[in-house]
Chain A
Amino acid sequence: MGTSVQVTPLCGVYNENPLSYLVSIDDFNFLIDCGWHDHFDPTILQPLSKVASTIDAVLLSYPDTLHLGALPYAVKQLGLSAPVFTTEPTYRLGLLTMYDQYLSRKQVSDFDLFTLDDIDSAFQKVTRLTYSQNHHLSGKGEGIVIAPHVAGHLLGGTVWKITKDGEDVIYAVDLNHRKERHLNGTVLASFVRPAVLITDAYNALNNQPYRRGEKENEFGETIKKTLGAGGNVLLPVDTAGRVFELILILEQYWTDKSLNYPIFFLTYVASSTIDYVKSFLEWMSDSIAKSFEQNRENPFLLKNVTFLINKSELDNAPDGPKVVIASMASLEVGFSHDIFVEWASDAKNLVLFTERGQFATLARILQADPPPKAVKVAMSKRVPLVGEELIAYEEEQNRIKKEETLKATLIKEETKASHGADIDASDPMVVDVSNTHALPDVAGPHGGGYRDILIDGFVPSSTSVAPMFPFYENTFEWDDFGEVINPDDYVIKDEDMDQTGMHVGGYLDAKFDEGSTSMMLDTKPSKVVSNELTVQVKCLLIYMDFEGRSDGRSIKSILSHVAPLKLVLVHGSAEATEHLKQHCLKHVCPHVYAPHIEETIDVTSDLCAYKVQLSEKLMSNVLFKKLGDYEIAWVDAEVAKTDGGTLSLNPCSTTAPPHKSVLVGDLKMADFKQFLASKGIQVEFAGGALRCGEYVTIRKVGDASQKGGASGPQQILIEGPLCEDYYKIRDYLYSQFFLL
């Protein structure tokens, strides 16, 4: 039997919710993508929470919230402990996206689903791979090979290929087959006949024709017009994804038209983002790689775009028309939200959406047709506590501190013994990690209190009655990274040793923009003040598709080219999913599934197979014929067993019965017509048949449009009277095939 494959959607089927799917291959559980939406509603992670602890490996495909947003929460709260695999850019940009999400959220609410530490510790689990790297899993997953391949859409975007025993399971969502400014198109079309293909129906109904040059020009014109009329332009974008393409388009347009309106790129992590992107040229399009090789031109050395990491810098910028590229794309939180509220009431301004907003977000509401005249938005702000509130807070903190003192003492008593045993396990390598990560922790209101206690040291136990010498046991404080230590103890004086002390963790968040760091480390007690207000939407709202996804028609043609044996559809509105399902049933393959949430479907290939060894004797007698990438031959062989117990094929001892001859090849009528014409035969199509010469006709019988798995061999009929032409044409026809 083939490899057993089950697919269970955990989120994101029959709607546009975040993506998260469980794929089990011979009982090895892959979680593919671990997305969340901008509302961060834990209820949609319910199905994930049930299976999180059984996951053996996590594969991430894109660095945006919809594909990896739930990772920190799942690791922290749901017991997800598996290793994570993704590409270097997805790792890095995903991390920045999550920082930005957290910082945006924290600014306007008491966000407590995860902390910056949780983000870091979740991303510590990541193993980074390069495109086309065959990574062999070990242990439980022995025999499984995973490989990321170029997907387009976002930098570092991945099509996952999971191979076991020669059978491929491919996960490919949000593809873009077109080459863009900064990205290459997907390589999905180079895979043929995988056992299972999991893809999305998100864009199945979107058949917008795509003309890049025209579209980019229109984009530039629209912005220029608003700026020219004295208005401001807001581009709500994701933190580190499509924004790169937009920045490059604007950069180019500004250069071409010599515009000098300022462009600001405003996220909490803007300058880090650009810094990283500059060093990801290996992952970008061929044209970018080429221009760097030839002229060492890095397109992300931007001339017209300024990066900002807090809004006050924007407020300090000189007045006058400007373009602001700000996160989040959903307008729910982040700088884009604040700026929208400020600018919406001015009819001169323009809010230009470049992607469809997530369901039920402000962006989506504004993209409705016709757009709403007014929207209610929550305006929240973090303000420092003053006066009575501050006093009350301090009292509360003291109380909590005391309680924790008590609790910690008790806990310590209990855990002392068990800690002792594990101490040896912590090696100095973990050390740096923990000390860098300890920094942001201070922000947590409870962190400070807990820490005090342990540093204060030994509290005499109330239970000890008899007098005794004080015994100072070495106790260790632990956090997610191991023992918490004083970094100075580990500073190595010896010059030569600092070579070895380097490792990955050290720089993880060293790169925080100073502004956000100061905000994070701001331990001043503060609270969130929010009020709801109604914003009159007078500004211009425009939606232009710069999502960088293949349109419906292209997706269909890619699917029929790839022609998987089984196809699983996920992610997309109910109509889109149903539409694509019907289309694929007709044109791609007979096995199309669109499972519902938590519905497990079995896509084990009904392919039967066994392995045999080809003996030297047999192979020396096989005559291969070369056909494109393939070499093909007919074999008659006798089964035998080798010493190792595997089956082997030897030449037949008796003459094999003659077999029906097989014609191999794919006849394209149009190509054949040209071929005949080149041989000096008059050919024309007439009534679905090819008329050759005066009398002979050739036709293909059966449904020619049916491609892939459903159809059988081609049926070709040649007829004509007895004449010389007949035999000549028949010879030409034969020449198109290989006879075996």
Chain B
Amino acid sequence: MAALPYFDEIDPSMIDVLLITHFHLDHAASLPYFLEKTTFKGRVFMTYPTKAIYKLLLTDYVKVSKVSVEDMLFNEQDINRSMDKIEVIDFHQTVEVNGIRFWCYTAGHVLGAAMFMVDIAGVRVLYTGDYSREEDRHLRAAETPLFSPDVCIIESTYGVRQHQPQHVREKRFTDVIHTTISEGGRVLIPVFALGRAQELLLILDEYWSTHPELQNIPIYYASPLAKRCLSVYETYLHSMNDRIRSKHAAKSNPFVFKYISPIKSIENFKDVGPSVVMASPGGLQSGLSRQLFDMWCSDRKNACVLPGYLVEGTLAKTIINEPKEVTLMNGLTAPLNMQVHNISFSAHADSAQTSAFLEELLPNNIILVHGEAKEMGRLKQKLIGQFADRNVKIFNPKNCQSVEMYFNSQKMAKTIGRLGERTPEVGETVSGLLVKKGFTYQIMAPDDLHIFSQLSTANITQRITIPYAGAFSVLNHRLKQIFESVESSTDEESGIPMLRVHERVTVKQDSEKLISLHWSSDPVSDMVSDSIVALVVNINREIPKVVVEAEAIKTEEENGKKVEKVIYALLVSLFGDVKAGENGKLVITVDGNVAELDKQSGDVVSENEGLKERIRTAFQRIQSAVKPIPLSAS
């Protein structure tokens, strides 16, 4: 539990997409927990080979883990369930989720390892995961993306350290082994079961085939898991490099080794004379590699070759400093006499690769992750020097420390269809629908909506009939008292009289006892029709009432007050702190920014442009809501 990432610090339900770069446990092992035991509801993506090996690896992990059942974070069923939720993505394939687009590039490192490029509203973020820029025996080197990302989140495992050239490392590796076994010693190579081990096997097999004198020396590889993963390696050849593919094309399976034999456990291993054994785990914590280490560590003829990155706190990291004695698994101490070599094949980028990669990418922001703090700090200093003359920001955040960057992305919209027929001059107004899909914007006329999107518009025509027994002319008179625009005419077909109120609502006398109202739905027309309906109902109910003129004047005054009240109330609901200032102005304070609003002219005075704009628009909207209905419907 303590080894989980700091999931407490985030809200899993807020995450849309989860991307897994490769199958190594430090990158994927808490996935079943995260998918099954948290509130995460987003989508998960990884490459085909990663998904296939992920399952094998984690299932194995659950089986061998010595934790008691109660302490287990997830079991095999959780892994199987997680398989259904994981979606696959092929290299370079672009996937879009909620407007977020992402795709991945080959990262080297291990089979199926990917670097993800995520594009959110035009801001591109590259996450390298573990990557290597060196082509090896079976994997391609990491690609250089075509586009320069705005942010590059890059691993810094090796910090400012430099790898030896590949052939030098290989030569050291094979030389150590060759010398040791020719002197009658045994070679132990502790490795992680999958990934780099395959590369070492390829190297050993090749070396044996070119050195016939070694061919009677056995090489053992103790990993049933790797054997199970073999079919994955055989199938996803297209994720590997051309060397492997050409071997496959030449009909020899590159992963069927001639000089390497598998063993299951220490019981199956006959320790008679020189041999080479590759065994997991890579850190010599326990398991077969540790058992062999305990057996062999006191003999100075033997050698231990540590080919991977050495994690702090493991025995592997300890013995690299060549202590005189080591503690065995049974608690006894034994002298450490065997030779210990650390020849790194871990396929992480070194300092030179990182520099060169960033030089090609030229991101505006670099975020260093995945590395020891000290080493990362040194790398940061080096990069600051490298990019000193350019405007590049470099961050090395600690866990849970968020890095904030601001991008002034320019939102571009395309005006299309009827609205786009003519490019407007400066100062003209453009009115239409702004349609946003993902992160693209289009402006169009309402009538074009169904052409350019799957949305459509509708007109709702309403027809309501009301019993009305009175004379039509009375109705006409009463309507004219209330509404400014009432036109009377007769229907051309039937010859019945009709009235048109505010060019919106048509009132017809359908028969002696019924009138009907016709209008096309929109808020204003609905309101007009409602008041007509109310009027008609009133006429039906009572005899005409004399309207007192004085009342009307008073109403106007009252209306003025009412309007102010409404405006005030609405502004308070929008901005909170609104006070009456001098000269009938309103003083609005938001987050310490002060603005003054002139209620008559609608002018806003403020030092903060954004606030000024917001108040102005809000005020305009409020005004249009409380103002009388305009005469025409246009």
**Chain A interfacial positions (CB closer than 8 Å to B):** 88, 129-134, 136, 147, 166, 192-193, 275, 278-282, 289, 292-294, 296, 298, 494-497, 499-500, 502-504, 506-507, 510-511, 565, 607-614, 616-617, 619-622, 624, 627-641, 647, 649, 651-652, 655-667, 701, 709, 711-722, 726, 730, 733-734, 737, 739-740
Contacts and interface: CB of A to CB of B under 8 A. Distances in A.
A620 B623 CA distance: 19
A296 B80 CA distance: 14
A96 to B, nearest CB: 12
Given A296-B231, A739-B523, A713 B458 contact: yes
A292 B53 CA distance: 11
B415 A131 contact: no
B437 interface: yes
Contact of A506 (B246, B466, B630): B246
Given A88-B238, A132-B93, A720-B465, A641 B457 contact: no
B235 A635 contact: no
A130 B93 contact: yes
B273 to A, nearest CB: 28
8 contacts: A608-B422, A614-B412, A614-B413, A619-B411, A630-B455, A656-B431, A662-B446, A667-B458
Contact of B454 (A282, A494, A619, A628): A628
A634 B433 CA distance: 5
A282 B236 CA distance: 8
Contact of A635 (B135, B431, B449, B458): B431
> Looking at chain B's contact residues, is the secondary structure mostly helix, strand, loop, or mixed?
mixed
Contacts of A630: 435-437, 453-455
Given A507-B245, A612-B413, A664-B456, A716 B461 contact: yes
B258 interface: no
Contact of B463 (A129, A663, A717): A717
A629 to B, nearest CB: 6
Given A621-B613, A651-B617, A713-B459, A298 B431 contact: no
Given A507-B249, A737-B458, A639 B466 contact: no
Interface in B429-453: 429-438, 440-441, 443, 446-447, 449-453
B428 interface: yes
A403 to B, nearest CB: 39
Contacts of A726: 464
The 6 closest A-B pairs by CB, nearest first: A496-B167, A507-B246, A719-B463, A133-B92, A661-B522, A507-B249
B426 interface: yes
A608 B421 contact: yes
B146 interface: yes
Nearest to B56: A296
A520 to B, nearest CB: 17
B391 to A, nearest CB: 20
A636 B237 CA distance: 56
B420 to A, nearest CB: 4
B457 A664 contact: yes
A421 B440 CA distance: 51
Nearest to A508: B249
Nearest to A192: B454
Interface residues of B, number: 111
Give the interface centre of B234, B245, B423, B429 by most chain A CB atoms within 10 Å: B429
A166 B523 contact: no
B93 A629 contact: no
A663 B458 contact: yes
B620 interface: yes
Given A294-B55, A617-B610, A622 B434 contact: yes
B48 A621 contact: no
Interface of B: 48, 51-52, 55, 80, 83, 88, 90-95, 103, 135-137, 146, 165-168, 170-171, 228, 231-232, 234-238, 241-243, 245-246, 248-251, 410-417, 420-438, 440-441, 443, 446-447, 449-467, 521-524, 533, 537, 602, 609-610, 613-614, 616-617, 620, 623-624, 630, 633-634
B431 A279 contact: no
Nearest to B243: A502
A657 B93 contact: no
A701 B613 CA distance: 43
Given A275-B251, A281-B48, A613-B412, A717 B461 contact: yes
A697 to B, nearest CB: 10
B433 A662 contact: yes
B414 A292 contact: no
Contacts of B237: 279
Contacts of B248: 275, 279
Nearest to B514: A721
A270 to B, nearest CB: 14
A716 B460 contact: yes
A193 B453 contact: yes
Given A289-B48, A640-B426, A510 B246 contact: yes
Given A502-B242, A616-B610, 9 more contacts: A281-B48, A294-B55, A495-B167, A499-B136, A499-B137, A503-B242, A662-B457, A665-B455, A737-B458
Contact of A636 (B232, B235, B431, B447): B431
A639 B420 contact: no
Contacts of B447: 712-713
A147 B426 CA distance: 38
Nearest to A615: B411
A567 B506 CA distance: 43
A661 B135 CA distance: 62
A507 B91 CA distance: 22
A652 B416 CA distance: 20
A656 to B, nearest CB: 6
A564 to B, nearest CB: 11
A507 B250 contact: yes
Given A511-B250, A635-B431, A641-B426, A279 B235 contact: yes
A610 B425 CA distance: 12
B460 A133 contact: no
Contact of B459 (A506, A634, A659, A714): A714
Give the interface centre of B55, B237, B467, B617 by most chain A CB atoms within 10 Å: B617
Contacts of B633: 660
B455 A635 contact: no
A192 B452 CA distance: 9
Contacts of B431: 634-637, 656, 659
A20 to B, nearest CB: 27
A657 to B, nearest CB: 7
A610 B243 contact: no
Contacts of A719: 462-465
Contacts of A633: 433-434, 436
A296 B617 contact: no
B121 to A, nearest CB: 12
Contact of B238 (A282, A637, A713, A739): A282
A714 B457 contact: yes
B208 to A, nearest CB: 14
Contacts of A298: 231, 235
A722 B466 contact: yes
B628 to A, nearest CB: 12
A645 to B, nearest CB: 11
Contacts of B435: 630-632
B414 to A, nearest CB: 5
B459 A715 contact: yes
A621 B424 CA distance: 22
Given A131-B93, A612-B443, A621-B617, A663 B249 contact: no
A655 B423 contact: no
Given A499-B166, A640-B426, A132 B55 contact: no
Give the interface centre of B146, B167, B168, B430 by most chain A CB atoms within 10 Å: B430
Contact of B429 (A132, A656, A718): A656
Contacts of A132: 90, 93-95
A665 B449 CA distance: 10
A609 B416 contact: yes
Contacts of B91: 130
A520 B519 CA distance: 83
A619 B443 CA distance: 13
